[in-house]
Amino acid sequence: MTATPKRILTVEDDAAIRRGIVDALRYAGYAPLEAADGHTGLDMAVRLDYDLLLLDLVLPGPGGLDILREVRVTRPTLGVIILTARGEEADRVAGLRQGADDYVVKPFGVKELLARVEAVLRRSPERPLDLASVDFHGGVADLARCEVCFSDGRRAPLSQREAELVRYLASNAGRVVTREELLANVWRLDPHGITTRAIDMHVARLREKLGDDPERPAVIVTVRGKGYMFAANGHGHSA
């Protein structure tokens, strides 16, 4: 299995700065995404799947702090680096208090920016590998098409959430994944104070679609008191 490049979203209205950041990220091996204003940035920040957000605080439309607040509701574990100008200390403090992981002051050098990007990505929860399909006993889960293909020719549809759940569990095959970890990394919810019953219900439906015996599951194994584990004999294939 080969991991795809980390996706980094840059929300910055200064075209020259944004272009410099995007070019530096691409040259360093990342997959950059970009937005030039607050409306586009907010939409992309809450809708797209990516690994790190580089966020200017002063933007046309919704400001960076507005975007940060929304991101922290939907993506509580996402790494965020705020981009500020000299003299905006109060904004930097506000950003850090609202959950930003780090900041860089404009103008900044490429080496400094990349060093901070690498540091925040190391601290961020590991993103599941981008598996396109997962082999299991009796068939293949085609995650790109959101369906299960059995060896006897039968097919069963998967919801987007079920496909994401298979992807995360299979990316961590052989390791116990807690319900709280699934809430944070698949549901994108803060696991504190939230019931995990939804996780169990999704796993039950997923087992049914995979043909996994609920009494003696062989694909998604329950580890009592801890969480779930995808059987290590399954094989994933990268996109």
Q: Say whether pLDDT at 1 is over 60.
A: no
Structural domain for 56, as ranges: 7-123
Q: Is 116 in the same domain as 137?
A: no
Q: Is 146 in the same domain as 92?
A: no
Structural domain contains residue 51: yes
Q: Say whether pLDDT at 238 is over 50.
A: no
Structural domain contains residue 201: yes
Q: Average pLDDT of the chain?
A: 86
- Structure confidence at residue 208 as a pLDDT band (50, 70, 90): very high
Classify residue 90 by burial, with Cβ atoms within 10 Å: 0-12, 13-18, 19+: exposed
* Share of residues in the chain with pLDDT > 90 (%): 50
pLDDT computed for residue 191 by the predictor: 62
Q: Is 13 in the same domain as 90?
A: yes
- Structure confidence at residue 239 as a pLDDT band (50, 70, 90): very low
Joined together, the tokens standing for residue 27 give 């040259």
Q: Say whether pLDDT at 235 is over 90.
A: no
Total number of domains constituting the chain: 2
Q: Is 103 in the same domain as 176?
A: no
Q: Is 13 in the same domain as 100?
A: yes
**Each residue of 45-92: pLDDT tens digit?**
988 878 999 999 999 999 999 999 988 877 777 899 999 887 777 888
Q: Is 115 in the same domain as 194?
A: no
Q: What is the mean pLDDT of residues 9-17?
A: 96
Domain's final residue, options 93, 123, 153: 123
Higher pLDDT, 34 or 182: 34
pLDDT computed for residue 195 by the predictor: 67
Structural domain contains residue 142: yes
**Each residue of 110-152: pLDDT tens digit?**
999 999 999 998 876 655 556 788 998 889 999 888 899 999 9
Q: Is 189 in the same domain as 205?
A: yes
Q: What's the CATH code of the domain at 43?
A: 3.40.50.2300
Maximum Cα–Cα distance across the chain? 66
Q: How far apart are CA 156 and CA 16, in angstroms?
A: 49
pLDDT computed for residue 234 by the predictor: 52
Long-range contacts from 185-191, C-beta under 8 angstroms, 24+ separation: 185/77, 185/125, 185/127, 185/128, 186/161, 187/161, 188/74, 188/75, 188/76, 189/76, 190/76
pLDDT computed for residue 59 by the predictor: 94
pLDDT computed for residue 21 by the predictor: 97
Domain's final residue, options 123, 155, 185: 123
Q: How far apart are CA 50 and CA 67, in angstroms?
A: 15
Q: Is 116 in the same domain as 26?
A: yes
Structural domain contains residue 68: yes
pLDDT computed for residue 132 by the predictor: 81
Q: Is 41 in the same domain as 102?
A: yes
pLDDT computed for residue 164 by the predictor: 87
Classify residue 87 by burial, with Cβ atoms within 10 Å: 0-12, 13-18, 19+: exposed
pLDDT computed for residue 148 by the predictor: 94
Q: Is 118 in the same domain as 224?
A: no
Domain's final residue, options 64, 92, 123: 123
Q: What's the CATH code of the domain at 161?
A: 1.10.10.10
Joined together, the tokens standing for residue 128 give 């599941």
**Each residue of 163-173: pLDDT tens digit?**
889 988 988 88
Q: Say whether pLDDT at 236 is over 80.
A: no
Structural domain contains residue 2: no
Please state which of the ranges 29-33, 37-41, 117-121, 184-188 shows the lowest mean pLDDT. Answer: 184-188
